[in-house]
Structure 1
Amino acid sequence: MNDLSWQNESLGARIRVALWLRDEIGEGGTFSKARIREAIKGTEQVDRRMRDLRPAGWVIQTYRDKPSLQPDQLYLERIGLPIWEAEHRAAGLRQISAKTRRFVYERDGHMCRRCGVAAGEEYADDPGAHARLTLGHVNPHRSGSGAHAEDLITECARCNETVKHLTGVQMTKEQVWDRLKELPVRGKRDLLAWMKVDHRPLSATEKAWGMYRQLPAAVREELEIDLEKLMRS
């Protein structure tokens, strides 16, 4: 097998994705997310590595960019830097330091800034699926966006993928508006305040919940018992 083949599993996922797009699709080609996921196993990783090509000059459009595409289709408009070559291997990658990562998680209360779910918490609309936190960019479509704390927000993996238009279909304005109209007056007032600052302030209880969800299950059980005792005293 050619060492620089997308089928070479010893290569990194980002390089394999780039080689697959080069060899199997080519500029001007259309492909589905299901097809690339089938070729290179590991759905979440493949989506992430495909996004990582964009800052290196690769132009991959979705149906939001190109109306003729179906929701599950992508269009390879331009092949960017050959990141399989040693001199371009790190092109477009943004390294986030452990210190910055820890600061952002703590700043955001260990909760997804987009949907509010905490680490390991079950999604209300998807029973059995539990949230995993990651870091996303405030401006996810801006090529080369930074790796500084002010450029980053805490997101669950589901929101992280949806925001970047690589998985799922976004809700429409009308669907969201119908939900907003159902809120009580206090809810509308709070939501408007969050919209104006583009931030949902966390209460002390919510912050404590986010911290609690970071702990191992055994420790969480101990804290639950301790809190019950405290409430009875």
Structure 2
Amino acid sequence: MSLLNPRAMGEHVSYGELDWRNEFLGARVRVALWLRDEVGEGGTFRKQEIRAVITGTEQVDRRMRDLRPAGWVIRTYRDKPSLQPDQLYLEKIGQPVWEREHRAAGLRQISAKTRRAVYERDGHMCRRCGITAGEEYTEGAQSRARLTLGHVTPYKHGGGVEAADLITECARCNETVQHLTGVQMSPEQVWDRMAALSGPNMKLLMSWIAVDRRHLGKAEEVWALYRQLPAEARDRLAGDLEDLLKR
């Protein structure tokens, strides 16, 4: 089956009973089929389009988000700046959740309480690269970080959905770990950087390694919390802090 964008090819692909128009199928399956048939990998779409065609069900947006743990990569304007705020980009079609053996793929839900606890435990920053929400990556201008949760041990190897099973990651690190994509340093390259550190920095790094956590300064802790706020609130607080410093 081709994963090219059917809309770009001027075609509509039909798969008999496995059709997104079939209201007897679950909403998550219908959303997946619509994305497969009407968008395709590399295609863009809008949430309004899904809401218009997947009728008779509530929380269609959530059903679309539920595809991500099954390996579907759907980008927003936050991590792909070329998109409009209401556009989404289907980068990768994941597991075929329309097939019976894959219907439950990625459906073990993480509770909102657990999600908050993990983010707070990890200082609201990626435990792998240290970036906070909304920060630009040092390489690749205009690419900003979005925080998500990853698994210490993958589902398929027995990982669970409790706080101890989860780790805060940015979307880029999460996908690198899951799909082995992107640039990843070798142990030798990391060692070269370790060995080049000054004595005090080596000791600092060793203290982090010993507890598997970076000790944050007070300013860094507040910075990570600040990055979680909406842009309007950040602007207001920046002005308040500037006024405070002038006193």
Common fold by TM > 0.5: yes
Counterparts in 2 of 1:115 and 1:193: CA distance versus 1, 3 Å:
same
Counterparts in 2 of 1:117 and 1:189: CA distance versus 1, 3 Å:
same
On the 8 A contact 2:133/2:147 being kept in 1, the answer is yes
Q: Which amino acid in structure 1 is aligned with residue 30 of structure 2?
A: L
Counterparts in 2 of 1:99 and 1:141: CA distance versus 1, 3 Å:
closer
The 5 Å alignment of 1:154-169 reads 154-169=168-183
Match of 1:227 in 2: 241
Counterparts in 2 of 1:92 and 1:200: CA distance versus 1, 3 Å:
same
Match of 2:108 in 1: 94
Identity %: 55
The 5 Å alignment of 1:100-139 reads 100-139=114-153
On the 8 A contact 2:133/2:224 being kept in 1, the answer is yes
Which of the numbers 11, 20, 45 marks the counterpart of 2:30? 11
On the 8 A contact 2:29/2:97 being kept in 1, the answer is no
**Please, what TM-score do these two structures have when normalized by structure 1?**
0.66
Match of 1:49 in 2: 70
On the 8 A contact 1:141/1:164 being kept in 2, the answer is no
Counterparts in 2 of 1:172 and 1:230: CA distance versus 1, 3 Å:
same
Match of 2:224 in 1: 210
Is 1:183 equivalent to 2:197 in the alignment? yes
Between 187-196 and 133-142, the greater mean CA deviation after superposition = 133-142
Match of 2:79 in 1: none
User: How far apart are residue 10 of structure 1 and its match?
Assistant: 6.4
Counterparts in 2 of 1:83 and 1:201: CA distance versus 1, 3 Å:
same
CA RMSD of superposed structures (Å)? 3.5
**Please, what TM-score do these two structures have when normalized by structure 2?**
0.63
Match of 1:58 in 2: none
* Higher RCO (C-alpha under 8 Å, 6+ residues apart): 1
